[in-house]
Structure 1
Amino acid sequence: MSGPKKLHVKSFGCQMNVYDAQRMADTLAREGFVETETIEDADLVILNTCHIREKAAEKVYSELGRVRRLKDEAAHHGRKVTVAVAGCVAQAEGAEIVRRAPTVDLVVGPQNYHRLPDLIARAAQGERVVDTEFPVEDKFDHLAPASAAATRRRGVSAFLTVQEGCDKFCTFCVVPYTRGAEVSRPAAKIVAEAERLATAGVREITLIGQNVNSYHGEGADGRPLSLAGLVAAVADVPRIARIRYTTSHPRDMDDELIAAHRDLPQLMPQLHLPVQSGSDRILAAMNRRHTCDDYLRLVERLRRARPDMAFTSDFIVGFPGETEADFQATLAVVEDVGYAGAFSFKYSPRPGTPAAERDDQVADTHKAERLARLQALIDAGQDRFNESCVGRTFDVLLEKPGRHAGQLVGRSPYLQPVHVTAEPSRIGDIVAVTVTSMGGNSLFGHIVAPGERPPANIGTSAIAHA
């Protein structure tokens, strides 16, 4: 008697893809698929791709070479393996993927994951399936409700998609072309999903979207609701103790959302707010629609609302036309803000984007040298931020076992991993932890015993801007 069909999803890139992978797995669970961490055991392999990072398509084809060998080995032993490519590379490349990589049975874009069972059935009949058309039906049909049982394995933290697509058209970015125009889910559906997640044991929800703070879904009164209003609605869900959101655009950070950081204790004091460059000239060329001064004043407004706010960011170095003076302006922003961490990347052209057509591309040697200097400055700032946490006490959500026996790992309000000694039964608890040391990107501490300090101080430590 054969066992259940096994599914392996390998995700690349952004948090949207992590969420999408979970939803695909939940959708296919209803078709009898169970997830496996071992790709060699899988009957269905899905590569969930991202087109943002450098040489994204090439990395997918390289991975497909490895998958082809696994598929051939399985066939040698009489076992059929279906291979699917999903995500933004699938959307951008479409039928070109099956032409270049005959091992691929199915190509599916991000808008069509709800149709996976039918697409897989067609592939099983020998059809080479490509489905990258933007659907006529509800764009969020693929976010059909998951059962509590399916969600439980996700742990105590979960992503929840509230918005997809982007209308900003930054000149370096393919998202408007691969994910489509901005569309927001109705608030009632989001709150209902948050309630299911809470029932399944989730304590922390991260609301995600390509441009999440442009959220404008239908509210209870039928009128558009802002992200601040949505956060307040999710904060009312019992057992949801923590809320985050990502990724934000500085242009869409309004007064109501800033006030929510001041007024809602569930909204964590950590915000990913990409600036991309410190040069107004480069920001204009990127079509970011804000200046460096706009960004710095926004950071100050958020810090006035929430003094312990920690910021992370994205940076692109070597954008076409970037000079050393432009790059120095970026370094100045890093110094001014004092980030708790950041992601930095060399600019790489994306076919079909305006920046890729420019004739003033920066030499790769300059990009590599600038990236190294920027990342060193970011790393130093992250170390200062982590050092400022040593000796402080704040709430930690315990998420999973650590590497060592008797150890659990949780997340601070600022998203840092925190290691403590605790029993596995404490997973899902939010505990006061005094940080005693740091190592790499992690913190180490001990759980505060009852009566060790006044409970009113828990989680209120202000982390100074270093």
Structure 2
Amino acid sequence: MITLGCRLNLAESETIRALVGADDMVVINGCGVTNEAMRQTRVAIRRARRDRPEAKIVVTGCASEMDHDAFAAMPEVDRVVPNAAKLLPATWGAFPNQRPARRHARAFLGVQNGCDHACTFCAIPMGRGPSRSEPVGQVVSAAAELVQQGAREIVLTGVDLTSYDGGLGALVEAVLVGVPALPRLRLSSLDTIEIDDRLFELITGEPRVMPHVHLSLQAGDDLILKRMKRRHLRAEAIATVERLKARRDIAVGADLIAGFPTESEAAFANTLALIDDCDIVHAHVFPYSPRTGTPAARMPQVSPVVARARAAQLREAADRRRRSWLASLVGTTQRIVIEKPGDRGHAENFAEIRLVDPSLAPQDHATTALPSADAALSAVRMGKIGDVRSVSIIDAAHDHLIGIPA
């Protein structure tokens, strides 16, 4: 199983893995969010054929949904499965749970699919269709099963998660009540304009809901946001973050697009400033790429060279903000779920923490020097994968924290 793209794809791939009844098959669940994602899907197909020349190569996901004929024509591809059919047992000639899927300490659970909005840059509705939601009871049952299989953190995912029928807050509450053995619940990308009052109260006041939000911001300039057909303005995004952080120490992530059509230097500066204004420490940055059939593809384009340069600036600013935030966590105690291979995990705020043997860690916890390579290689296993443990943070690298058992 080869998965590209979003967390919803990751969740769907686990279901596909349980349904596939053949050992001589490679399933590629591709992504179509950008032209680069389409290219990477084609690369993955060709690599799979080189690595497994005798295997049957099956392609599914948004990439092949958006350009079925092109993927079906690839000589490496034996079959293309539509998105609408990829989770059906009949597609794979198997029955649910015929073969156990590999479960992890952190599990992704898809609860919503498709999108009814029409952002001018987005081709995903072409691949995913209109918005629809899984029934609450089905979600609760699936979450309970994941916990029984060993998951200690569940991430609710969707294409447009906050459009969940009946309100995402109501669903989160139902999962928390219905699955009392679940220690940690995390949410994937949220639309700021759709964070309802119940969801806000749960994010800011419920300990089992992780203090980490990933916001679909895309830009920090009002004119660009309007041309994107986003439903929020810059001030509303900032106000949402301020309101959340006033109630709880929440780590903020965001999707940002650089070089959207008509983006001026001043407009880009507003997006660049949003990293500090919204205290973004988990940034996903993309240079804009036009998608055929979308309104933005017909707008006056920014040079791809400029778009890539602006994306690099956004990443540099986001990296500085992230490094400063990680450094501020040195000396604190964090709770993690131990993940594969057993020497790391994510804190509640989604900072990655790597564990080292206490006997090899620096004695001066204030030092900026990292533990030696030998110490990292001698990482201590603090228990089995899935354990929830406290960790003392002794140092910070550029993209993760270093800790020892508390």
Give the distance between the partners of 2:264 and 2:304, measured in 1 at CA. Answer: 13
1:35-434 matches, cutoff 5 A = 43-70=24-51, 73-74=53-54, 81-99=55-73, 101-115=74-88, 117-118=90-91, 146=97, 150-151=100-101, 153-216=102-165, 225-236=166-177, 237-306=179-248, 308-358=249-299, 360-402=300-342, 408-420=343-355, 421=357, 422-423=380-381, 425-434=383-392
Aligned: 1:446 with 2:404: yes
> Post-superposition shift, 1:146?
4.3
3-state SS in 2 of match to 1:441: coil
Query: Computing the radius of gyration over CA atoms, which structure comes out larger, 1 or 2?
Result: 1
Give the distance between the partners of 1:313 and 1:111, measured in 2 at CA. Answer: 28
- RMSD after superposition: 2.0
3-state SS in 1 of match to 2:150: coil
3-state SS in 1 of match to 2:35: coil
In structure 1, the residue matched to 2:366 is: none
Q: 1:118 to 1:333 in 2, by over 3 A?
A: closer
Aligned residues with identical type, % of pairs: 34
Give the distance between the partners of 2:96 and 2:43, measured in 1 at CA. Answer: 34
Give the distance between the partners of 2:276 and 2:326, measured in 1 at CA. Answer: 16
Q: 1:338 to 1:70 in 2, by over 3 A?
A: closer
- Return 226-235 or 158-167, whichever deviates more: 226-235
> Post-superposition shift, 1:58?
3.2
Aligned partners of 1:341 and 1:381 also within 8 Å: no
Q: 1:104 to 1:401 in 2, by over 3 A?
A: closer
Q: 1:429 to 1:63 in 2, by over 3 A?
A: closer
TM-score (norm 2): 0.89
> Post-superposition shift, 1:120?
6.8
1:394-433, Cα deviation, whole Å (9 max, x unpaired): 211112235xxxxx21110111221224446342221221
3-state SS in 1 of match to 2:85: helix
Give the distance between the partners of 1:244 and 1:283, measured in 2 at CA. Answer: 27
Aligned partners of 2:238 and 2:278 also within 8 Å: yes
> Post-superposition shift, 1:441?
1.3
Give the distance between the partners of 1:393 and 1:97, measured in 2 at CA. Answer: 49
Aligned partners of 2:115 and 2:160 also within 8 Å: yes
Give the distance between the partners of 2:404 and 2:39, measured in 1 at CA. Answer: 45
- Unpaired runs of at least 5, structure 1: 1-8, 35-42, 75-80, 122-143, 217-224, 403-407, 449-466
Q: 1:190 to 1:88 in 2, by over 3 A?
A: same
Higher RCO by CA contacts (8 Å cutoff, separation 6 or greater): 2
Give the distance between the partners of 2:386 and 2:45, measured in 1 at CA. Answer: 37
- Return 428-437 or 289-298, whichever deviates more: 428-437
Give the distance between the partners of 1:67 and 1:190, measured in 2 at CA. Answer: 33
Aligned partners of 2:19 and 2:92 also within 8 Å: no
3-state SS in 2 of match to 1:367: helix
> Post-superposition shift, 1:169?
1.3
Aligned partners of 1:106 and 1:119 also within 8 Å: no
Q: 1:424 to 1:370 in 2, by over 3 A?
A: same
> Post-superposition shift, 1:325?
0.4
Letter in 1 for 2:329: C
> Post-superposition shift, 1:61?
3.1
Give the distance between the partners of 1:13 and 1:317, measured in 2 at CA. Answer: 19
3-state SS in 1 of match to 2:227: helix
- Unpaired runs of at least 5, structure 2: 358-379
> Post-superposition shift, 1:274?
2.1
Letter in 2 for 1:320: P
Give the distance between the partners of 2:111 and 2:302, measured in 1 at CA. Answer: 37
Give the distance between the partners of 1:213 and 1:61, measured in 2 at CA. Answer: 31
3-state SS in 2 of match to 1:375: helix
Q: 1:433 to 1:59 in 2, by over 3 A?
A: closer
3-state SS in 1 of match to 2:100: helix
Letter in 1 for 2:133: S
Give the distance between the partners of 1:24 and 1:186, measured in 2 at CA. Answer: 20
Aligned residues: 382
Give the distance between the partners of 1:206 and 1:285, measured in 2 at CA. Answer: 31
